[in-house]
Chain A
Amino acid sequence: NAGVMQNPRHLVRRRGQEARLRCSPMKGHSHVYWYRQLPEEGLKFMVYLQKENIIDESGMPKERFSAEFPKEGPSILRIQQVVRGDSAAYFCASSPREGLADEQYFGPGTRLTVT
């Protein structure tokens, strides 16, 4: 059973460009979470999605950031008009459909660098 997949692993964008980060959850997992982490800092929750639904986006900036988890295909975190402050590691995690005791499984992350 493959783990959570994220791509690309490293992404370099110039200021003003768009960044698209992809996350494929573990097989059978229908809950996806996106986090941002700056060096030497903790995980910051951004958004929680189920298939075709955004459940909680309280941690995501209202402007320039959007997320989706379509019926088919990976979850996408999109950052429009990137700025230097968007440089960070973005982690995706997934968990199964049933049970609140289930832990979140993390992908390897995408390191975004904005130049």
Chain B
Amino acid sequence: GQNIDQPTEMTATEGAIVQINCTYQTSGFNGLFWYQQHAGEAPTFLSYNVLDGLEEKGRFSSFLSRSKGYSYLLLKELQMKDSASYLCAVRNAGNNRKLIWGLGTSLAVNP
């Protein structure tokens, strides 16, 4: 079967660094996405990894290890507005663009 696992909830302090992990088991792999979703709003794209390594984009970075079926999203200098759900999604191999989604990690940033 296909499975994506993320922690359900995390808590961190404003100004700190937090790492949100995602492990996946899929029938193929053609890229991993991270999205942010604030309560009551639509998901918004954060990052895309298809090769092993770290992709940095401002305060957010995303890492991928294909051999381990593992990714993490790193958020630095946390701000209150970063309180949201963070969704990990994997695209299978082939031409089907369907994404397999994790249930999301709800991050609470406290002052």
- Specify the main secondary structure of chain B where it touches its partner: loop
Tell me the chain B residues, 32-53 only, with Cβ under 8 Å from chain A. Answer: 33, 41-45, 48, 50
Kindly list chain B residues whose C-beta atoms are within 8 Å of the C-beta of A55: 96-97
Q: In the bound complex, do residue A56 and residue B96 qualify as a contact, i.e. CB atoms below 8 Å apart?
A: yes
Kindly list chain B residues whose C-beta atoms are within 8 Å of the C-beta of A65: none
Against A, the Cβ 8 Å flags (1 = close, 0 = not) of B86-97 are 010001000011
B48 interface neighbour in A35, A41, A103, A107, Cβ under 8 Å: A103
Bound complex: CA of A104 vs CA of B98, how far in Å? 10
Bound complex: CA of A11 vs CA of B91, how far in Å? 31
- Interface segment out of the listed A42-50, A69-77, A78-86: A42-50
Which residues of chain A have a CB within 8 Å of any CB of chain B?
31, 33, 35, 41-45, 48, 55-56, 91, 95, 100-101, 103-109
Closest 5 CB pairs of A and B: A42-B103, A106-B42, A103-B45, A43-B101, A106-B43
